A and B are shown apart, each in its own frame.
Chain A
């Protein structure tokens, strides 16, 4: 496992609140745009596909069929 899941943030409450406040003024369409931009910015910052795929797998647990996460290029 390359994804770092031990606590790393100095002020987790601050980060959580910043995210919560950012969402407070957004409607559903804007939330999607915000999330999408944030994901792409962070994905590039992380810069490691294996880490991103592990994060996707955990985020998708119980939501996305496992076989789809295993091979994201699979042709459905």
Chain B
């Protein structure tokens, strides 16, 4: 077995702010350098918004944390320039086994469609993910990472937030126009504001272990209901990078957390699953009770909450870190436009609306999975067991088996920023308004590339060209708007052979995925979600939809 991973220490550095005569005011200060905070900070820095990121520690996270990242999250990180690193460090998987008792009930395959840059899921222990994100953050000018900077107190004013921060050199004051709280489930910002979560605790306890072992498990997600090695309970096993495995043992509500965390007891449970002779090293073992809850609002004046600081769900379904990164994706461009005076502060209301709706969807899925995994009455248990019993013979019963429905990207259909389809446009599928754009292989100036690489950071008019491309004066007019719209033209492979401008849809997958018959135009937000779409390239319609998508104009 390899030696334990050594966590890097990033080290405290004194900031010029600590020697300033008066508190320095920054556009954005973030508290908490976890996956959500680092993602917001990188996104803002790439959009040329200076950002200060405070963290009370000077290393990556410890303990058993996030493992599993979905394609949409990987696409967000790819936009931020760190997707390839996460995929390269991580372990891809797409198959899973569901067991009941001592038999395999069924195998599922998240049959990944070809023609997407990013895989369906990648597993990577959170500390390695954070190392990749920190490495990316350190490449960016204008991203000021301040380790061992611990928030002590804060005061919200009309046009700024004043902060007091403690450091190894003692406390100092600073100010920001916007404060983003990404300081996790025990958020200090939330407690300083005295905000309550709404939701519930799942009345169950789980022993969550990260174990390094050479034991040969197939590289799949295993979920056992009532296995011989842990009767009456469930066990989840999932691979991470470098022979590290995540193993979750359900313990029931009345388990004693202190007793269950005893190393001998943990080792006893692990030997039952890994084998009496297996060699293993326990990296982390902790008993958790899962919360399914959120803040009532994610925006409080000039303080914005994201990630676990705003909402928490049980881990079955990989909806924790994934939703935190989608919060970041949703927030960064809105903050940039508001800071630049190009959008009203009300645009941040749409962050609240869109991400609260996404959190509620995650909470609903988490509550449903908890109903199945932790039945609350003998009859609920009987229903669960009936589904497992029937699933071996009948495929319909497999659909009832809920070991956590895996994270899907949020769709902002109901958002005030989204322009609904005109029924006359008769879209048959494609990417509906509010949904995240889908990837497809393309060629750009003869080079193999990806469609999603052409989108993001600014608004894009994605045009499926027919005989003629959009007129250049209209393209220029859109590019000259206060919030510019960049036009990206997709041509069929045949048309691209004649005129090499724009993107060549080499395999026809862009057309298929976007219902992109000639003339079809999508207005794509900086977070790659669709704001509006039409069957023709119409600058006037694009301008109206843009105003709506930037909070300048409410729905008619």
Q: Do A and B make up one complex?
A: yes
Q: Is the CB of B400 within 8 A of A36?
A: no
Q: Which of B368, B378, B387 contacts A40 (CB 8 A)?
A: B387
* CB-contact partner of A35 in B368, B382, B387, under 8 A: B382
Q: A75–B390 contact, CB under 8 A?
A: no
Q: Is A39 an interface residue (CB 8 A)?
A: yes
A40-70 interface bits toward B, Cβ cutoff 8 Å, 1 = contact, 0 = none: 1100100000000000000000000000000
Choose among B363, B367, B382 the residue that contacts A36 (Cβ–Cβ < 8 A): B382
When A and B form their complex, what is the total count of cross-chain residue pairs whose Cβ atoms lie within 8 Å?
Answer: 38
Residues of B with C-beta under 8 A to A76 = 200
Do B363 and A75 touch across chains, with their CB atoms under 8 A apart?
yes
Q: How far is the CB of A43 from chain B (nearest CB, A)?
A: 9
**Are B200 and A40 in contact, CB atoms less than 8 angstroms apart?**
no
Q: DSSP majority for the A interface?
A: helix
Candidate in B378, B385, B386, B389 with the most chain A CB atoms within 10 angstroms: B386
How many chain B residues touch A (CB < 8 A): the figure is: 19
Check B367–A75 contact: CB distance below 8 A: yes
- Give bound CA distance, A71 to B364, whole Å: 12
Chain A residues with CB under 8 Å of B378's CB are 29, 32
CB of B199 within 8 A of CB of A32, answer no
CB pair B199–A41 under 8 Å, yes or no, is no
Chain A residues near B383: list those with CB within 8 A.
36, 39-40
Closest residue of chain A to B381 (Cβ to Cβ) is: A32
Contacts of B364 in A (CB 8 A): 73
Asked whether A75 lies within 8 Å of B396 as measured between CB atoms, the reply is no
Q: Which residues of B contact A41 (CB under 8 A)?
A: 390
B192 sits at the interface (CB 8 A): no
Q: Cα distance A39–B199 when bound, in Å? A: 30
Q: Which residues of A contact B530 (CB under 8 A)?
A: none
Known: A75-B200, A75-B292. A36 touches B379 (CB 8 A): yes
Verify if B555 is at the interface (C-beta below 8 Å from A).
no
Q: Is the CB of A37 within 8 A of B386?
A: yes
Nearest-Cβ distance from residue A72 to partner chain B, whole angstroms: 10
B198's closest neighbor in chain A, by CB? A75
Quick one: closest B residue to A76, CB to CB?
Answer: B200
- Sorting the interface of chain A by its residue count into under 10, 10 to 19, 20 to 34 or 35 or more gives 10 to 19
State whether B400 touches A40 (Cβ < 8 A).
yes
The answer to whether A37 and B200 have CB atoms under 8 Å apart is: no
Provide the residues of chain A in CB contact with B397, threshold 8 Å: 40, 44
Known: A73-B364, A75-B200. A32 touches B382 (CB 8 A): yes
A3 at the interface (CB under 8 A from B): no
Given contacts A40-B400, A75-B363, A75-B367, contact A33 B386 (CB under 8 A): yes
Q: Which of B357-380 contact A (CB under 8 A)?
A: 363-364, 367-368, 378-379
| Residues in B lying within 8 Å of A, measured CB to CB | 199-200, 292, 363-364, 367-368, 378-379, 382-383, 385-387, 389-390, 396-397, 400
Binding site for B on A (CB under 8 A): 29, 32-33, 35-37, 39-41, 44, 73, 75-76
Please list the 8 inter-chain residue pairs (A to B) with the smallest Cβ-Cβ separation, ordered nearest first: A36-B386, A32-B382, A36-B382, A37-B386, A44-B396, A36-B383, A40-B386, A75-B200
Contacts A36-B382, A73-B367 aside, 11 further interface pairs with beta carbons under 8 A come to A29-B378, A33-B382, A33-B389, A36-B385, A39-B383, A40-B383, A40-B386, A40-B387, A41-B390, A73-B368, A76-B200
A-B contact pairs, 23 of them (CB 8 A): A32-B378, A32-B379, A33-B385, A33-B389, A35-B379, A35-B382, A36-B379, A36-B382, A36-B383, A36-B386, A37-B389, A39-B383, A39-B386, A40-B383, A40-B387, A41-B390, A44-B396, A44-B397, A73-B364, A73-B367, A75-B363, A75-B367, A76-B200
